[in-house]
Chain A
Amino acid sequence: AQSVTQLDSQVPVFEEAPVELRCNYSSSVSVYLFWYVQYPNQGLQLLLKYLSGSTLVKGINGFEAEFNKSQTSFHLRKPSVHISDTAEYFCAVTPLSGGYNKLIFGAGTRLAVHP
């Protein structure tokens, strides 16, 4: 079975400051890793995904994430946030075995960017 833990339920930050949203996962099989963003009253939108290769993944809106296999982590970072980045961010995994493309989500981190 797989599980995803997002270590912070809320992260307040000032505009133009850097931010890191932390994600750890547990799985007995190899997984793909994802970060999704959910703006108020909208569906989830894919920010980035890690399948293989370089452990540093760049996504949309200036976000990037780094896969660390030994620590089973996939932390999301942005060097300078904007007010418009205020949203809920979800880390998720898909197990390779089973072939069902199933997403298992963490509980989410609410990023609040203040002026």
Chain B
Amino acid sequence: EAGVAQSPRYKIIEKRQSVAFWCNPISGHATLYWYQQILGQGPKLLIQFQNNGVVDDSQLPKDRFSAERLKGVDSTLKIQPAKLEDSAVYLCASSLRRQATSTSTDTQYFGPGTRLTVL
């Protein structure tokens, strides 16, 4: 089974420029996540989609970050304009369902990430 695909793998831009990242989840996975991983830190959830609806974007800097998941499959994360502190690896993950229950939770499968450098 194909894994989570992300592109580009690397991106270098100057501050105040715009950038977009693309993610294709595992086929059939209803839930899609975007994480930001700053050097030396663990990944931090930016936004979570259930099909094409947002269920959690509490940590997304909405003044400059936006994300969409059209048709409930592929997703795009955009930064406009970028700041130096946005330099990080942006990870996309997917899972079958959204909900953790008292007896189970779905494994999240991660893509290879996009390494963004803002100069």
Contact = CB atoms under 8 A, between A and B. Distances in A.
Interface residues of A, number: 29
Contacts of B112: 41-43
B41 A107 contact: yes
Interface SS majority for chain A: loop
Interface SS majority for chain B: loop
Given A32-B105, A107-B42, A101 B98 contact: yes
B100 A100 contact: yes
A51 B110 contact: no
A92 interface: yes
Contacts of B45: 102-104
B99 A51 contact: no
Interface string A51-76: 11000000000000000000000000
A94 interface: yes
A111 to B, nearest CB: 15
B68 to A, nearest CB: 19
B44 to A, nearest CB: 7
A90 interface: yes
Interface of A: 4, 9, 32, 36, 41-46, 49, 51-52, 90, 92, 94-96, 98-108
Interface of B: 3-4, 31, 33, 40-45, 48, 55-56, 91, 93, 95, 97-108, 110-113
